[in-house]
Amino acid sequence: MENLLPNSRRPDVSFHQSGRIDITAHVAKLLHLQQGDVIGVMLSGGEYMLYVRLRDNERVGRHEGQVFPTNRGKRHTNNFRAYSRRMCQAMIHAAGVSGTARLPVGTPLSINDTTAIPIIYKYNLQ
């Protein structure tokens, strides 16, 4: 017997070669994302962490990684999208894939009073 769907886990964050970053509503809720926030990825202790660099009310000018909602659900839970080719290339290189890195995330942590979510970059969900 062969399972037609060996991996049923869905990705939480997707990094595309074009620079598009897709963030699920689950991750957006954990980071308390709002339209106009700027996300970033930092390397901390050998792990890549997704976090909010600037909140919308702190932001001045245009920034790479600025998020905007892609849909609105019944309970106003949003999927978000951002664009940063440099961030995508770095994460695709770290994941060791070509094309798109579809990655899960871990449990949120607090680093310097900032909520950060570890990206499990060694487990591409293709």
pLDDT digits (tens, 9 = 90+) for 117-126: 999 988 787 7
Which element (helix H / strand E) includes 27? helix 25-31
Q: Is 47 helix (H, G, I), strand (E, B) or coil?
A: strand
What is the per-residue pLDDT for 33? 93
| pLDDT of amino acid 31 | 95
Cβ neighbours of 13 (radius 10 Å): 23
Read off φ and ψ for residue 49, nearest 5 degrees: -120, 130
For 63-115, write each residue's pLDDT tens digit: 999 999 987 666 666 899 999 999 999 999 999 998 899 999 999 999 888 89
Region for 101 from its dihedrals, namely left if φ exceeds 0, alpha if ψ lies in -120 to 50, beta otherwise: beta
Q: What is the distance between the alpha carbons of residues 126 and 121, in angstroms, rounded to a whole number?
A: 12
Q: What is the pTM of this model?
A: 0.88
Q: Using the predicted structure, report yes or no on whether residue 2 has a pLDDT greater than 80.
A: no
